[in-house]
Structure 1
Amino acid sequence: MSVGGLWSPANGWCPLNVLQKVDVRLVSEEACFRSYGYMVTPRMLCAGYRSGEKDACQGDSGGPLVCQENSGRWFLAGVVSWGKGCGRADYYGVYTRVTKLTGWIKEHISGHG
């Protein structure tokens, strides 16, 4: 998984002019629930590392979480949404789960293209 954004931990969190990316791992629903409890819904997924360190951060909201299939094809799996701080141990990044919203997306883009 890769996440894109414009923020970086250099002397604190500061905006950059160059798009950044970080590779993160999807985590189980159970691990996500352990971090956030009932704040996480079926329309969300978590990614990152238990040790923290790599994560999306403030300013990255709305950015893509993309995955690569074995065929090499990339697809949008999630959209950066929220989390507890940035790269904190035991707290994963939370993303909107795109597969749960494909019907809504198709409904709202039909006739606009």
Structure 2
Amino acid sequence: MKSLRKFTGLRRLLAAGAVTLAAVSIQPLSAQAAPQPVVGGTRAAQGEFPFMVRLSMGCGGALYAKDVVLTAAHCVNGSGSNTSITATAGVVDLQSSGATKVRSTKVLQAPGYNGKGKDWALIKLARPIELPTLKIATTTAYNNGTFTVAGWGAAREGGSQQRYLLKAAVPFVDDATCRQAYGSDLVPGDEICAGFPQGGVDTCQGDSGGPMFRKDDTGAYLQVGIVSWGEGCARAGYPGVYSEVSTFAADIARAAAGL
């Protein structure tokens, strides 16, 4: 069963979005026999990933601009004015008194989004958050190697979201290999896969919308993916599926400028 990684709600079937960062889950809906708890993830240090954002609807995101969060299309309900979302930033502990909390004012869901591919959205904030932003990939040059995933999602399939930000590393999986797992459900031009053949490390429910990133040639973090979906969390033979940021970079830039 295809599973989105939003903490609650549906994307294509039953939901359970989380990123199984070996301890950070970011994968979508899907509930079948639960595998062993995600392993390999560790707690992120305060300030390690200052661009990370937790969204009140049960998703993750990253600061695209100081007043704009980039997340997944399946985390939001259409486009337009929206003051119902609260973005929490600046902390790894969601219960920290030092957290910055800002309300949304608008949401823009990827034009043409229908539940398959194009899984990105932007959330305009009521005021800027004075933290570093995460630049996005504009070419496929960095669609390789090892990526970092992080989130507050479930640490195991079907589990609950986490209080502390967790992180893990997952390797790139080529389209041909990923198609062996997902067949026609995969949209190669829109999506990029990552994970270990044996499973064990992945994103899971509650991680939807969070970034998959790596260092660029200058040593700066660069976002290459957005947590989207997968078959359960951290299952052998089923890598995590992420929205391929470079495919939509120009669209995202135009949309952000118009918010």
Give the TM-score of the pair, scaled to structure 1: 0.91
SS at match of 2:152: strand
1:96 aligned residue: 243
Find the partner of 1:55 among 202, 205, 210. Answer: 202
Q: 1:78 is matched with which residue: 225, 242, 253? A: 225
Work out whether 1:21 is the aligned partner of 2:167.
yes
Between structures 1 and 2, the one with greater helix share: 1
8 A Cα contact 2:154 2:206, kept in partner: no
Q: Is the 8 A contact 2:152 2:166 kept in 1?
A: yes
2:176 alignment partner, SS class = helix
CA distance in 2, matches of 1:111, 1:61: 24
Q: Quick one: distance in 1 between partners of 2:255 and 2:235?
A: 36
Equivalent AA in structure 1 for residue 244 of structure 2: R
* CA apart distance, 1:33: 0.8
1:54-74, Cα deviation, whole Å (9 max, x unpaired): 000011000110011243121
1:35 maps to which residue?
A: 181
CA distance in 1, matches of 2:186, 2:151: 22
What CA distance in whole angstroms lies between the structure 2 residues aligned with 1:70 and 1:111? Answer: 30
CA distance in 2, matches of 1:7, 1:52: 17
Are the aligned partners of 2:161 and 2:205 in contact in 1 as well (CA < 8 Å)? no
Letter in 2 for 1:92: P
**For the aligned residues, what is the CA RMSD?**
1.5
Per the alignment, in what secondary structure is the counterpart of residue 160 of structure 2? strand
Distance across 2 between alignment mates of 1:63 and 1:106 = 18
Q: Which has the larger radius of gyration?
A: 2
Extract unaligned runs of 5+ from structure 1.
none
CA distance, structure 2, for counterparts of residue 20 and residue 38 of structure 1: 31
Q: Which amino acid aligns with 2:163?
A: N
Q: Specify the code of the residue in structure 1 equivalent to 2:212.
A: L
SS in 1 for 2:233: coil
Alpha-carbon distance in 1 for matches of 2:165, 2:175: 29
Q: C-alpha distance in 2, partners of 1:4/1:54?
A: 11
Measure the CA separation in 1 of the matches of 2:154 and 2:253: 34
Over 2 Å off, 4+ runs:
7-10
Higher RCO (Cα < 8 Å, 6 or more apart): 2
Unaligned runs of 5+ in 2: 1-146
